[in-house]
Structure 1
Amino acid sequence: MTKDQAVPAEVENLLHDDDNIDNMYLTFAIGEETYGVPIAVVTEIVGMQRIMTVPDVPRYIKGVINLRGKVIPLMDVRLRFSLDERAYDDRTVIIVLELAGSPVGLIVDRVSEVLEIAEDHIDSARGVGGGGESQSLVEGLGRVGENVAIILNTGMLVSDAELSMPEAVSA
């Protein structure tokens, strides 16, 4: 499999269109649900690669990859949401985000599309979930036609405490 095999061409094109990022979200699927992250924090989408495991990290941190000389920690979003683990397939991809100056990769079941969701089509997530951590992961609920995309709070999803790698790895 090539690195870009599972990425739809229109998604790849929109990732590099800097004039078109306001209210734009990269959507992806975990199971049957659709989630979104702001396109402004997405740097690229790559196919699955050899993952080097790292000891003493949370279960949902699968390890790191070396992507063109950059060590990128990987989070399996399924496991982060306490869902059942499933085998990676040809549609499984890594969404690379740039957060607070550091790259992080999200392993997702499949990338869907880039959607423009106007602010007035994003409802508050208050009252969704049981409160606590699960609520803080959801920034809002974006209405797109008859569908809803769960907009994730990327800061909470990949907080520094969870992605802290041992010094030897992150250096």
Structure 2
Amino acid sequence: MQNDTNRNGIEALAFTLGTEEYGVSILKVQEIRGYDAVTRIANAPDFIKGVVNLRGIIVPIVDMRIKFNLGAPTYDQFTVVIILSIAGHVVGMVVDSVSDVITLTPDQIKPAPEMGTALNTDYLTGLGTLDQRMVILIDIDRLMSSADSGLIGKLAA
């Protein structure tokens, strides 16, 4: 999200997983869709729900609840798929709900805490504070291209 700043701050799409609120750069978001059935792929990791055909493009769908070990996902009328454009690839991520687009000024963003080896925080860009809200800001490029995701080849530095 570092390159997505302007004089007004960072714009992020806020979404929920369980009781926590997360944010990804609005510049990565292609569209937001309701959750539809997916075609399962044999031997795919559990967090990859399958693929969908989106206007002729086969899009892998990642369930973020499973990816972040946040318990069994439930799919209801609020469940959405955020379609992202990452390093020239289209990827969908299933989230519990989308709340809004937020703008954070640089002083509203705190660095992600160091958790040692207990928790991999490489994909976190920081914690955004907005009134009484705390939004966990995700570097979605880094998360989707991480070795454990294996979705997108390593991004050029």
Q: Give the TM bin, normalised by the shorter chain.
A: 0.7 to 0.9
Give the aligned partner of residue 54 of structure 1. Answer: 41
- Identify the match of residue 142 of structure 2 among 156, 162, 166: 156
Change (3 A) 1:22 1:123: closer
- Identify the match of residue 104 of structure 2 among 117, 126, 140: 117
The answer to whether 1:43 aligns with 2:43 is no
| Larger fraction in strand | 2
Alignment RMSD: 2.1
Give the aligned partner of residue 4 of structure 2. Answer: none
CA distance in 2 between counterparts of 1:134 and 1:89 reads 30
Letter of the 1:139 partner, please give it.
T
**Secondary structure at 1:52's aligned position in 2?**
coil
CA distance in 1 between counterparts of 2:46 and 2:76 reads 20
CA distance in 2 between counterparts of 1:148 and 1:136 reads 19
Identity of aligned residues (%): 36
- Identify the match of residue 126 of structure 2 among 140, 148, 151: 140
Q: In 2, are the aligned partners of 1:44 and 1:97 still within 8 Å (CA)?
A: yes
Change (3 A) 1:89 1:62: same
Q: In 1, are the aligned partners of 2:144 and 2:151 still within 8 Å (CA)?
A: no
Q: What TM-score do you get using the length of structure 1 for normalisation?
A: 0.78
Question: CA offset at residue 118 of structure 1?
Answer: 1.1
Q: What TM-score do you get using the length of structure 2 for normalisation?
A: 0.84
Give the aligned partner of residue 88 of structure 1. Answer: 75
| Larger fraction in helix | 1
Q: In 2, are the aligned partners of 1:142 and 1:150 still within 8 Å (CA)?
A: yes
Q: In 1, are the aligned partners of 2:9 and 2:106 still within 8 Å (CA)?
A: no
- Please, which runs of 5 or more residues in structure 2 have no aligned partner? 1-7, 153-157
Question: CA offset at residue 164 of structure 1?
Answer: 3.9
CA distance in 2 between counterparts of 1:82 and 1:97 reads 21
Question: CA offset at residue 87 of structure 1?
Answer: 2.1
Q: In 1, are the aligned partners of 2:64 and 2:95 still within 8 Å (CA)?
A: yes
CA distance in 1 between counterparts of 2:17 and 2:151 reads 24
**Secondary structure at 1:66's aligned position in 2?**
strand
- Please, which runs of 5 or more residues in structure 1 have no aligned partner? 1-20, 166-171
Per-residue displacement from partner, 1:93-138 (whole Å, max 9, x unpaired)? 00001000000001000001000011221111032x4446631121
